Amino acid sequence: MFIGWDWATETHDMTVMDASGKRVDLWELAHTEEGFAKTLARLRRHGAPADLLVAIETTRGLAVDRLLAAGHPVMPVRPNAFHAMRPRWGSSEAKTDAGDSMKLADSLRADGHLLPRPDPAEQATLALQSLTRNRADHVEARVAAVNQLAALLDEHWLDGKAVFASLDSDIAMAFLERYPTPASAAKLTATRLEAWCKRRHYSGKKPGSVLIECLRAAPKAASRLGEAVVEQLVRVRVQLVQGIRATIRALDKAITTATETHPYAPRSVTMPRTGKVSLGQIIGELGPILERAQSCRQFIAEAGVVPVTRWLRVMRACWRDGACYDPVIHQANGKINTTADTPLAA
């Protein structure tokens, strides 16, 4: 039997087809626990899960995870490839969810032997993937929060924005928390500001006289808001940025711990310019592809980095052979040119 799963947001359509191309079952399921449970039970009426192949237009997500957990082989069909196959079922542009599930089942019946069957990714790999993706979301949120804070200062306290831009991020947040308004910073002198920064281990080279000049030289904002309102607005924005920074630090710690214990880490940890967080990102995103790729070409294509493939060829060779990356050997063989490669993103 061959199954086509047309997945959507709220409902999904299923088609079961036999080897002759006859549709033997068709139904719609809701995107609920009851819908998934009833569907998996209904599929079992048609045979053992290991013998029921399912074609679906995605490589991940709840539907794929539930099918794999139930023992069904899952054949991911890429949307662009599925779109290119549509003419085989006629020239009509009409499209229905039930019709797509039938087409997916039929494509599996005809071409299933040519498609790779992904196994569930390693639990440790999925954990790293989730942690690093959440970190990326938090970094994006931090950038947005800092930009919003800068816009607030630009509107109500340009002096504060000037100092904010001159200090390290940690010191800048502490400064705005201590001096959230022009009035609160009015009595600052170069000596007091320099001493305040020194107590917080300011690593910059700008002396207090330069910092106080930044504070005093900026034009005065034409804000019509009262001092108390501006103070409240600045403080809550600073607290938001600091809260996000704290969650990023917590995620960094969790990613470092998960990376240190991951079985793939020793094979790539010696690669140039690879830190604990960036290594976690590499394993989390490329690990599942490495686990299911049948060849180096498939791995490179699914990673989406063609034609820059030097790093990935070495990575897959290390993963395939269970060997650690040796910079001396690889550089000696001319496989890696560290001076020409772009540093990995943190």
Output the pLDDT for position 37: 92
- Please state the pTM of the whole predicted model: 0.63
What was the pLDDT predicted at 330?
56
**209-230 burial, b if ≥16 CB within 10 A, otherwise e?**
eebbebbeebeebeeeeeeeeb
In angstroms, rounded to a whole number, what is the distance separating the alpha carbons of residues 119 and 111? 19
DSSP for 120-177?
PPPHHHHHHHHHHHHHHHHHHHHHHHHHHHHHHHHHH-HHHHHHHHHS-HHHHHHHHH
CATH fold of 2-114 reads: Nucleotidyltransferase; domain 5 (3.30.420)
Residue 68's CB: how many other CB atoms inside 10 A?
18
Q: If the chain, 346 residues long, is cut into consecutive pieces of 10 residues, what is the mean pLDDT of each piece?
A: 85 89 89 91 91 82 84 78 73 72 85 65 83 92 91 78 76 87 84 87 80 76 82 92 94 92 78 78 81 72 60 76 71 46 38
Looking at residue 118, what is its pLDDT? 59
CA quadruple 97, 99, 105, 111: dihedral positive or negative?
A: negative
Cβ atoms of 77 and 57 within 8 Å: the answer is yes
Q: The tokens of 273 are what?
A: 């310019």
Q: What is the pLDDT of residue 329?
A: 65
Cα distances (angstroms) measured from residue 159 to each of 69, 91, 215: 58, 66, 5
- CATH class of segment(s) 125-257: mainly alpha
In the chain, CATH 1.10.287 covers 125-257
CATH 3.30.420.40 placement within the chain: 2-114
Residue 84: half-sphere exposure toward Cβ, Cα within 13 Å: 5
Q: Strands 11-17, 23-30: parallel, antiparallel or unpaired by DSSP?
A: antiparallel
Instruction: Report the C-alpha gap between 208 and 145 in whole angstroms.
Output: 27
Task: Report the alpha-carbon distance of residue 73 to residue 43 in Å, rounded.
Answer: 13
Max intra-chain CA distance, the chain: 87
Per DSSP, 219 falls in state P
Dist CA 154 CA 18 (whole Å): 67
